[in-house]
C-alpha cells in the first residue's frame, strides 16, 4: 500500500510539472503570435521560424522569416539553437484560402522534418502539429490570438479540433 501511495504522489508531481511546462510553453507561443499576427495580417505573408529553449531554460524564437502569401521556408537553424518546434503564420483572411487549419503540406513538412509545429491563423486560432503522432490539434480556438478584422467564419468549411493527413487531403479535394 505504501508503494502505491508513493508512486501516486510522485506521478502526480511529475504530471503537474509536465502540465506547468506545457502551460508555460503555450503562454510563450500565444504571446509570440500576438506580436507576429499584426505583421502577417498587414502584409498578407506567412512568417516562419523555430521555437527553442536557451541555456537558462527560457523559451526563445528565431527571427521570423518572411515568406509568400501561402508558403514560407524558414532560414537555417543556428547550430547552437536548441529547438523544439517550428512555427508559422497563415497571413491575412482570404475567401480563396482555407487558412483556418494546417494544410496537408504543413503537416507533411513537420512530419518529414521530425519536428512539432505551431501555426496561427487569420481567425486567431493556434494549432499544434504533433510530428510523432502525425496529427494536428487545435489548442486554442477563434480569437485566441490576434485575428484579422476581415475574417468571416462562414467563408470556409467547418473547422474540426483534430486532423490527420487523410482528413486534410479529403478537405483539399472538397475545396478544389
What is the per-residue pLDDT across 98-113, written as a single tens digit (0 to 9) for each? 999 999 999 999 999 9
Whole-model pTM above 0.85? yes
Which is more confident, 10 or 85?
85
What is the chain written as a DSSP string? -HHHHHHHHHHHHHHHHHHHHHHHHHHHHHHHHHHHHHHHHHHT--EEEEEEE-TTS-EEEPPPEE--SS---PPPPPTT--EEEEEEE--S--TT--TTS--HHHHHHHHHHT-EEEEE-TTS-EEEEETTTTEEEEEE-TTSS---TT--GGGSPPPPSEEEHHHHHHHHHHH-
Residue 6, pLDDT > 80, answer: no
Q: Which three cell numbers stand for residue 69?
A: 502569401
The predicted model gives 49-63 an average pLDDT of 97
Range of the domain at 153: 2-175
Q: Give residue-wise pLDDT tens across range 118-151.
A: 999 999 999 999 999 999 999 999 999 999 999 9
Matching residue, cell 529553449: 53
| pLDDT higher than threshold 90 for residue 20 | no
**Structural domains of the chain, count:** 1
Contact 125/95 with Cβ under 8 angstroms?
A: no
| 176 band by pLDDT with thresholds 50, 70 and 90 | low
- State residue 15's pLDDT score: 41
Amino acid at each position: 500500500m505504501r508503494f502505491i501511495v508513493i508512486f501516486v504522489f510522485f506521478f502526480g508531481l511529475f504530471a503537474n510539472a509536465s502540465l506547468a511546462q506545457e502551460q508555460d510553453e503555450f503562454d510563450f507561443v500565444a504571446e509570440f503570435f500576438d506580436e507576429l499576427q499584426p505583421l502577417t495580417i498587414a502584409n498578407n505573408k506567412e512568417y516562419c521560424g523555430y521555437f527553442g529553449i536557451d541555456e537558462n531554460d527560457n523559451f526563445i524564437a528565431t527571427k521570423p522569416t518572411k515568406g509568400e502569401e501561402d508558403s514560407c521556408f524558414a532560414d537555417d537553424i543556428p547550430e547552437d539553437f536548441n529547438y523544439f518546434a517550428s512555427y508559422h503564420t497563415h497571413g491575412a483572411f482570404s475567401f480563396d484560402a482555407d487558412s483556418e487549419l494546417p494544410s496537408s503540406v504543413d503537416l507533411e513538412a513537420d512530419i518529414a522534418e521530425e519536428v512539432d509545429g505551431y501555426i496561427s491563423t487569420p481567425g486567431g486560432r493556434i494549432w499544434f502539429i504533433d510530428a510523432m503522432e502525425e496529427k494536428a490539434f487545435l489548442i486554442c480556438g477563434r480569437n485566441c490570438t490576434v485575428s484579422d478584422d476581415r475574417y468571416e467564419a462562414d467563408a470556409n468549411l467547418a473547422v474540426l479540433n483534430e486532423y490527420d493527413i487523410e482528413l486534410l487531403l479529403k478537405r483539399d479535394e472538397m475545396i478544389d
